[in-house]
Chains A and B, each alone.
Chain A
Amino acid sequence: MIPVEYYIILSAILFAIGVAGVLIRRNALIIFMSIELMLNAANLAIVAFSSVFNSFSGQVFVFFVIAVAAAEVAVGLALIVEIFKTKHSIDVDQMSSLKG
């Protein structure tokens, strides 16, 4: 039996990688993938905790997170495709028509 701390440390590392990815990478798709990594790090932590507590509510929460993340993907990819059509680029540094 692997102790729960290991899962939590792994999930914290994944979460940190996700945050770093959002802050460092400039491609909208990669940023989006980093956000998904953050959500899945949280899922890992919740599942690990819920096995410790022997509770189902945590596992149900994970299903909700997965389903909602999928809905978010649909909207997010649509936005990325739409912006690629007008600008032929999804580099967030080039999204600079708004300034002040």
Chain B
Amino acid sequence: MNLTPQDYQVLIPYILLTAWACVLLLVDLFIPKERKSLTALLSALGLAITLGVTLSQVGIAQTGFFGMAALDGFSTFVNALLLLSGILGIALAHGYVKRLGIERGEYYTLLLFSISGMMLMAQATDLIMVFIALELLSIPLYVLAAFARPRVSSEEAGMKYFLLGAFATGFVVYGTALVFGATGSTNLYAILASASNGTSTLLLTIGAALVLVGFGFKVAAVPFHMWTPDVYQGAPTAVTAFMASGAKIAGFAALLRVFATAFPALAVDMTDILWALAALTMILGNIVAISQTDIKRMLAYSSIAHAGYILMAFVPYGNPAVREVSIAAGLFYLVAYAFTNFGAWGVVIALEKNEEKELAITDYAGLGRKHPALAAAMTVFMLSLIGFPPTLGLVGKFYLFRAVIAAGFTGLAMIGVLTSLISAYYYLRVVVTMYMKDGEPTVERETWLGLATGVTAAVTVVASLVPQSLFAWASEAVLNLF
């Protein structure tokens, strides 16, 4: 039972980032209070180096640590996306935390720890590892949500996120216990082998369903979404931006790997449940978003609705003929959502003032005249969230609906198209407010924030013109899963 260099190779990006975060935690003590930008820079550097290492591992596929973790196309794809999200998250946070007077070095270290948990989530091939990764990603996020203490809304957000997150963890652990009882192992491949021998399926089905409930909480799928609007509204906006993309990517990555690798035998039972979850999530998220007047709450419901669209890609996961295309479409949509989401939150951050001021949609009146560039960027993000050309959102939805129809779920695709039409109402309302109404909005000018918003807007438009290479990468990534 010795570990070889190959074992370490599997987890090198993760080990590097965790070690970097631990060292940074110490280094930060010697950085004076007014120069915390240095901590931000160092953590972004750590993410960039890890991203480089991750990209250098493209094409490698192996498992390590006695089947506990895997390095393959899927994990590389998801990890690269997560690390990019982390860099964007720091760019968005840098000026924002300074302006709000909550600039502490721990912010960036906690962000790094959370990302390392997310990366482990994409690489875990054992339910024990999935559980540890889930906690490693969640616990720093609980703290980050409450980071603007003693502001009551932020504390409440942290509290609610913590209680519901820990509740969800309980379901994941109990589900794992039952799966272990049914199959005698926590390793995903061993579960697969045992499940195809036809062992006690009732216990296995209940276990898998409980795991699904736990992940449903993490990705904010209806009916496990109750915490999302409150937490997204109360948490500091930069944290919300990171949470909405990062936690969702990681949650879906783990859901994907666990279900596609270990539970294809349960697809008969699970497909209906996933169908209902996806449909409910799309319908409820989009309809409740209409009545929102606060931009953070509106984007929170929009994030719930998008969880539904991505969940749609998992419905045919047990059908060998279409699952690869459909899950690749899901991954593609995750990329599109991550970029659009960061950009939209970036604009929200640019307008937000201290004491949670200027967060109503009506505060965006006149933005088109006073800050045309920012308004144009916001328009791009809103169009991408609807799925309107020429944006990544459209391409993502196109791949998604095409895959779902090919799998024979035309009804679900119809619900997706109809709810997208409904969503146009509340996204376009923001655009109309910016260009048609008069107002005097003031904007915070921050270099990194402006850069991040500009880059995400450019990616959202440009990548939609050449989506094939990204889709090809996503298709290649899912091949290792089965």
Listed in ascending order, the chain A residues whose CB lies under 8 Å from chain B are: 8, 11, 15, 18-19, 22, 28, 31-32, 35, 38-39, 41-43, 45-46, 48-50, 52-53, 55, 57-58, 60-61, 64-65, 68, 71-72, 75-76, 79-80, 82-83, 85-87, 92, 95, 97-98, 100
Asked if A97 and B178 sit within 8 Å, CB to CB, the answer is: no
Of B128, B139, B150, B167, the contact of A35 (CB 8 Å cutoff): B167
CB-CB under 8 A for A98 and B233, given A41-B174, A83-B155: yes
- Given the complex, which residues of A lie within 8 Å of B150, measured CB to CB? 82, 85-86
- Given the complex, which residues of B lie within 8 Å of A31, measured CB to CB? 163
Asked if B128 and A68 sit within 8 Å, CB to CB, the answer is: no
11 new A-B contacts, CB < 8 A, other than A35-B167, A97-B156, are: A35-B166, A35-B169, A41-B174, A42-B177, A55-B185, A76-B163, A83-B155, A83-B159, A97-B153, A100-B229, A100-B294
Asked if B169 and A39 sit within 8 Å, CB to CB, the answer is: yes
Q: Which residue of A lies closest to B234 (CB)?
A: A98
Asked if A86 and B155 sit within 8 Å, CB to CB, the answer is: yes
CB-defined interface of B108-135 with A at 8 Å, one 1/0 digit per residue? 0000000000000000000010011001
Interface residues of B in 224-239 (CB under 8 A from A): 229-230, 233-234
Interface majority SS on B: helix, strand, loop or mixed?
Answer: helix
Q: Distance (Å) between the CB of B331 and the closest chain A CB?
A: 28
Of B162, B167, B176, B185, the contact of A42 (CB 8 Å cutoff): B176
CB-CB under 8 A for A55 and B162, given A42-B176, A64-B128: no
CB-CB under 8 A for A28 and B159, given A68-B135, A82-B149, A98-B153: yes
B interface size (C-beta, 8 A): 43
Of A38, A64, A75, the contact of B170 (CB 8 Å cutoff): A38
CB-CB under 8 A for A60 and B128, given A76-B162, A97-B152, A100-B292: yes
Q: Distance (Å) between the CB of B423 and the closest chain A CB?
A: 17
Asked if A98 and B169 sit within 8 Å, CB to CB, the answer is: no
Q: Is B293 an interface residue (CB 8 A)?
A: yes
Q: Is B181 an interface residue (CB 8 A)?
A: yes
How distant is the Cα of A32 from the Cα of B166 in the complex, in angstroms? 8
How distant is the Cα of A43 from the Cα of B294 in the complex, in angstroms? 42
How distant is the Cα of A39 from the Cα of B210 in the complex, in angstroms? 13
Enumerate 7 A-B pairs (CB-CB under 8 Å) in ascending A order: A18-B170, A19-B170, A32-B163, A42-B177, A58-B180, A76-B162, A92-B159
Of A49, A80, A97, the contact of B180 (CB 8 Å cutoff): A49
Asked if B158 and A79 sit within 8 Å, CB to CB, the answer is: yes
Q: Is B11 an interface residue (CB 8 A)?
A: no
Asked if A38 and B174 sit within 8 Å, CB to CB, the answer is: yes
Q: Distance (Å) between the CB of A57 and the closest chain B CB?
A: 6
Q: Distance (Å) between the CB of A90 and the closest chain B CB?
A: 8
Asked if B135 and A46 sit within 8 Å, CB to CB, the answer is: no
How distant is the Cα of A22 from the Cα of B162 in the complex, in angstroms? 13
How distant is the Cα of A97 from the Cα of B167 in the complex, in angstroms? 22
A-B contact count (CB 8 A): 128
CB-CB under 8 A for A45 and B181, given A65-B173, A95-B160: yes
Q: Is B297 an interface residue (CB 8 A)?
A: yes
Asked if A71 and B135 sit within 8 Å, CB to CB, the answer is: yes
CB-CB under 8 A for A65 and B233, given A75-B139, A85-B150, A92-B163: no
Q: Is B184 an interface residue (CB 8 A)?
A: yes
How distant is the Cα of A92 from the Cα of B162 in the complex, in angstroms? 12
- Given the complex, which residues of A lie within 8 Å of B142, measured CB to CB? 75-76, 79
- Given the complex, which residues of A lie within 8 Å of B162, measured CB to CB? 75-76, 79
Q: Distance (Å) between the CB of A84 and the closest chain B CB?
A: 10
Q: Which of A71, A83, A92 has the most CB of B within 10 A?
A: A83
Of B167, B186, B230, the contact of A98 (CB 8 Å cutoff): B230
How distant is the Cα of A41 from the Cα of B152 in the complex, in angstroms? 34
CB-CB under 8 A for A42 and B153, given A35-B163, A100-B233: no
- Given the complex, which residues of A lie within 8 Å of B230, measured CB to CB? 98
- Given the complex, which residues of B lie within 8 Å of A86, measured CB to CB? 149-150, 152, 155
Asked if A22 and B139 sit within 8 Å, CB to CB, the answer is: no
- Given the complex, which residues of B lie within 8 Å of A15, measured CB to CB? 170, 174
Of B156, B181, B186, the contact of A95 (CB 8 Å cutoff): B156
Q: Which residue of B lies closest to A15 (CB)?
A: B174
CB-defined interface of B283-324 with A at 8 Å, one 1/0 digit per residue? 000000000111001000000000000000000000000000
How distant is the Cα of A28 from the Cα of B132 in the complex, in angstroms? 24
Q: Distance (Å) between the CB of A21 and the closest chain B CB?
A: 10
How distant is the Cα of A98 from the Cα of B234 in the complex, in angstroms? 7
Q: Which of B146, B150, B153, B173 has the most CB of A within 10 A?
A: B173
Q: Is B157 an interface residue (CB 8 A)?
A: yes
